[in-house]
Amino acid sequence: NHNVYEKVPLEECHQKIGKAPIKVKWVDINKGDEINKEYRSRLVAKDIKRDKMEDLFAATPPLEAKKMLFSMAVTEGIGHQIDNPEDGMKIDFIDISRAYFQADAIRDMYIQLPDEDWEEGMCGKLVKSMYGTRDAAQNWGSTYCEFMKSIGFHRGISSPCVFWHKEKEIRCVVHGDDFTVLGWENQLDWFWAKIKQKFQSKHRGRLG
Protein backbone atom coordinates (compact mmCIF):
# COMPACT_ATOMS: atom_id res chain seq x y z
CA ASN A 1 0.00 0.00 0.00
CA HIS A 2 2.89 2.38 0.69
CA ASN A 3 4.86 1.47 -2.47
CA VAL A 4 8.02 1.04 -0.41
CA TYR A 5 10.06 -0.37 -3.30
CA GLU A 6 9.94 -0.83 -7.04
CA LYS A 7 11.30 -3.86 -8.88
CA VAL A 8 14.45 -3.27 -10.93
CA PRO A 9 17.02 -5.60 -12.56
CA LEU A 10 19.66 -6.96 -10.20
CA GLU A 11 22.36 -5.56 -12.51
CA GLU A 12 21.24 -2.02 -11.67
CA CYS A 13 22.05 -2.61 -8.00
CA HIS A 14 25.60 -3.76 -8.75
CA GLN A 15 26.17 -0.92 -11.21
CA LYS A 16 24.91 1.80 -8.87
CA ILE A 17 26.35 0.74 -5.50
CA GLY A 18 28.78 -2.06 -6.35
CA LYS A 19 27.25 -4.40 -3.79
CA ALA A 20 24.60 -7.06 -3.51
CA PRO A 21 21.16 -5.90 -2.37
CA ILE A 22 20.42 -5.79 1.36
CA LYS A 23 18.80 -8.90 2.82
CA VAL A 24 15.36 -8.64 4.42
CA LYS A 25 13.44 -10.61 7.02
CA TRP A 26 10.00 -10.64 8.58
CA VAL A 27 9.79 -9.51 12.21
CA ASP A 28 6.69 -10.57 14.14
CA ILE A 29 5.77 -8.75 17.35
CA ASN A 30 2.93 -9.61 19.69
CA LYS A 31 1.57 -6.27 20.92
CA GLY A 32 -1.01 -8.03 23.04
CA ASP A 33 -0.39 -10.77 25.60
CA GLU A 34 -0.44 -14.55 25.68
CA ILE A 35 -4.24 -14.63 26.00
CA ASN A 36 -5.22 -11.71 23.75
CA LYS A 37 -2.65 -11.95 21.00
CA GLU A 38 -2.22 -9.07 18.57
CA TYR A 39 0.56 -9.79 16.11
CA ARG A 40 2.15 -7.17 13.86
CA SER A 41 4.39 -8.35 11.04
CA ARG A 42 6.88 -6.04 9.38
CA LEU A 43 9.38 -6.60 6.59
CA VAL A 44 12.72 -5.22 7.82
CA ALA A 45 15.97 -4.57 5.98
CA LYS A 46 19.16 -6.02 7.50
CA ASP A 47 21.28 -2.93 6.80
CA ILE A 48 24.42 -4.03 8.64
CA LYS A 49 27.15 -1.41 9.19
CA ARG A 50 29.32 -2.22 6.22
CA ASP A 51 30.75 1.28 5.94
CA LYS A 52 31.05 4.40 8.07
CA MET A 53 28.24 6.93 7.75
CA GLU A 54 29.23 9.57 10.26
CA ASP A 55 26.69 12.09 8.97
CA LEU A 56 23.74 10.04 10.24
CA PHE A 57 21.81 11.70 13.05
CA ALA A 58 18.21 11.43 14.23
CA ALA A 59 17.28 13.82 17.04
CA THR A 60 15.04 13.03 20.00
CA PRO A 61 13.67 15.70 22.34
CA PRO A 62 14.76 16.04 25.96
CA LEU A 63 12.24 14.91 28.58
CA GLU A 64 12.03 18.52 29.79
CA ALA A 65 10.45 19.56 26.48
CA LYS A 66 7.38 17.39 26.99
CA LYS A 67 7.21 18.22 30.71
CA MET A 68 7.13 21.89 29.73
CA LEU A 69 3.95 21.35 27.68
CA PHE A 70 2.17 19.84 30.68
CA SER A 71 3.38 22.66 32.90
CA MET A 72 2.24 25.37 30.49
CA ALA A 73 -1.18 23.73 30.11
CA VAL A 74 -1.95 24.33 33.81
CA THR A 75 -0.09 27.61 34.30
CA GLU A 76 -2.34 30.61 34.91
CA GLY A 77 -1.95 33.19 32.18
CA ILE A 78 -0.72 30.66 29.61
CA GLY A 79 -2.89 27.57 29.30
CA HIS A 80 -5.13 27.98 32.32
CA GLN A 81 -7.86 30.62 32.62
CA ILE A 82 -8.87 30.93 36.24
CA ASP A 83 -12.24 32.51 35.41
CA ASN A 84 -13.08 29.88 32.80
CA PRO A 85 -10.96 26.76 33.36
CA GLU A 86 -12.95 24.63 30.91
CA ASP A 87 -11.78 26.84 28.02
CA GLY A 88 -8.09 26.44 28.81
CA MET A 89 -5.48 24.91 26.54
CA LYS A 90 -5.57 21.19 25.87
CA ILE A 91 -3.00 18.59 24.84
CA ASP A 92 -3.37 16.26 21.85
CA PHE A 93 -1.56 12.96 21.40
CA ILE A 94 -1.10 11.96 17.77
CA ASP A 95 0.64 8.87 16.45
CA ILE A 96 1.89 8.46 12.87
CA SER A 97 1.24 4.97 11.51
CA ARG A 98 4.28 3.33 9.86
CA ALA A 99 6.12 6.64 9.89
CA TYR A 100 9.22 5.49 7.99
CA PHE A 101 7.11 4.33 5.05
CA GLN A 102 5.88 7.91 4.73
CA ALA A 103 9.39 9.29 4.21
CA ASP A 104 11.17 9.16 0.86
CA ALA A 105 14.39 7.15 0.54
CA ILE A 106 17.20 9.65 0.06
CA ARG A 107 20.11 7.46 -1.08
CA ASP A 108 20.11 4.65 -3.63
CA MET A 109 19.27 1.51 -1.70
CA TYR A 110 18.40 -1.95 -2.98
CA ILE A 111 16.89 -4.89 -1.13
CA GLN A 112 16.41 -8.55 -1.87
CA LEU A 113 12.83 -9.31 -2.74
CA PRO A 114 10.89 -11.23 -0.08
CA ASP A 115 9.78 -14.75 -0.92
CA GLU A 116 6.19 -13.56 -1.41
CA ASP A 117 7.27 -11.19 -4.20
CA TRP A 118 10.31 -13.05 -5.57
CA GLU A 119 11.21 -12.68 -9.24
CA GLU A 120 14.36 -14.16 -10.80
CA GLY A 121 16.99 -11.56 -11.70
CA MET A 122 15.16 -8.73 -9.94
CA CYS A 123 15.59 -6.80 -6.69
CA GLY A 124 13.80 -3.92 -5.01
CA LYS A 125 14.91 -0.30 -5.19
CA LEU A 126 13.63 1.59 -2.16
CA VAL A 127 11.24 4.43 -2.89
CA LYS A 128 10.34 4.95 0.77
CA SER A 129 12.46 4.56 3.89
CA MET A 130 12.37 0.99 5.15
CA TYR A 131 12.55 -0.21 8.74
CA GLY A 132 16.02 -1.58 9.40
CA THR A 133 17.88 0.87 7.14
CA ARG A 134 20.36 3.07 8.91
CA ASP A 135 19.06 6.42 7.69
CA ALA A 136 15.32 5.74 8.01
CA ALA A 137 14.94 7.77 11.22
CA GLN A 138 16.87 10.69 9.75
CA ASN A 139 14.74 10.64 6.59
CA TRP A 140 11.55 10.65 8.67
CA GLY A 141 12.88 13.56 10.72
CA SER A 142 13.47 15.60 7.57
CA THR A 143 10.00 14.72 6.29
CA TYR A 144 8.03 15.83 9.35
CA CYS A 145 10.17 18.97 9.75
CA GLU A 146 9.36 20.03 6.18
CA PHE A 147 5.68 19.42 6.86
CA MET A 148 5.69 21.46 10.08
CA LYS A 149 7.44 24.37 8.39
CA SER A 150 5.04 24.23 5.43
CA ILE A 151 2.04 24.92 7.72
CA GLY A 152 3.68 27.79 9.59
CA PHE A 153 5.66 26.26 12.46
CA HIS A 154 9.08 27.47 13.56
CA ARG A 155 11.62 24.85 14.59
CA GLY A 156 13.24 25.09 18.00
CA ILE A 157 16.79 26.32 18.52
CA SER A 158 17.40 24.33 21.70
CA SER A 159 16.02 21.12 20.13
CA PRO A 160 15.07 20.36 16.52
CA CYS A 161 12.14 18.27 17.81
CA VAL A 162 10.17 21.19 19.30
CA PHE A 163 7.97 23.50 17.24
CA TRP A 164 6.07 26.75 17.77
CA HIS A 165 3.27 28.25 15.68
CA LYS A 166 3.16 31.92 16.67
CA GLU A 167 -0.11 32.87 14.94
CA LYS A 168 -2.07 29.89 16.27
CA GLU A 169 -0.27 29.57 19.62
CA ILE A 170 0.45 25.88 19.14
CA ARG A 171 3.46 24.19 20.70
CA CYS A 172 4.51 20.70 19.66
CA VAL A 173 7.11 18.13 20.73
CA VAL A 174 7.89 15.25 18.36
CA HIS A 175 9.47 12.03 19.60
CA GLY A 176 9.90 9.58 16.75
CA ASP A 177 6.38 9.09 15.38
CA ASP A 178 4.58 10.60 18.41
CA PHE A 179 3.35 14.21 18.36
CA THR A 180 2.41 15.89 21.66
CA VAL A 181 0.62 19.15 20.90
CA LEU A 182 -0.46 22.00 23.21
CA GLY A 183 -2.98 24.62 22.10
CA TRP A 184 -6.52 25.97 22.16
CA GLU A 185 -9.13 23.42 21.17
CA ASN A 186 -10.05 24.98 17.82
CA GLN A 187 -6.37 25.25 16.87
CA LEU A 188 -5.75 21.63 17.83
CA ASP A 189 -8.63 20.70 15.53
CA TRP A 190 -6.92 22.70 12.77
CA PHE A 191 -3.61 20.87 13.33
CA TRP A 192 -5.27 17.44 13.39
CA ALA A 193 -6.99 18.18 10.08
CA LYS A 194 -3.65 19.21 8.54
CA ILE A 195 -1.56 16.29 9.75
CA LYS A 196 -4.08 13.59 8.83
CA GLN A 197 -4.17 15.02 5.29
CA LYS A 198 -0.40 14.59 5.03
CA PHE A 199 0.28 11.38 6.99
CA GLN A 200 -1.60 8.24 7.93
CA SER A 201 -2.28 9.18 11.57
CA LYS A 202 -4.10 8.12 14.71
CA HIS A 203 -5.57 10.55 17.22
CA ARG A 204 -4.79 8.88 20.53
CA GLY A 205 -6.60 11.31 22.78
CA ARG A 206 -7.03 14.85 24.07
CA LEU A 207 -6.17 15.88 27.62
CA GLY A 208 -7.85 18.82 29.31
The pLDDT of residue 85 is 64
Q: Is the dihedral of CA 60, 66, 67, 69 positive or negative?
A: positive
SS (H, E, C) 114-181: CHHHCCCCEEEEECECCCCCCCHHHHHHHHHHHHHHHCCCEECCCCCCEEEECCCCEEEEEECCEEEE
The pLDDT of residue 52 is 66
CA–CA gap between residue 73 and residue 80 (Å, rounded):
6
CA torsion 120-125-126-130 (nearest 10°) is 40
The pLDDT of residue 32 is 87
CA–CA gap between residue 128 and residue 101 (Å, rounded):
5
pLDDT tens, N- to C-terminus, the chain (208 residues): 889 999 999 999 999 999 999 999 999 999 889 899 988 888 999 987 766 677 777 889 999 999 999 999 999 888 887 777 678 899 999 999 999 999 999 989 999 999 999 999 999 999 999 999 989 999 999 999 999 999 999 999 989 999 999 999 999 999 999 999 999 999 999 999 999 999 999 999 999 8
First to last CA, the chain: 36
- β-pair type (154-155, 5-9): unpaired
Instruction: Please report the DSSP string for 8-66 in residue order.
Output: EEHHHHHHHHSSPPBPEEEEEEESS-SSS--EEEEEEE-----S--TT-------HHHH
Specify the 3-state DSSP secondary structure of 203.
strand
pTM given for the model: 0.87
CA–CA gap between residue 109 and residue 105 (Å, rounded):
8
CA–CA gap between residue 9 and residue 71 (Å, rounded):
55
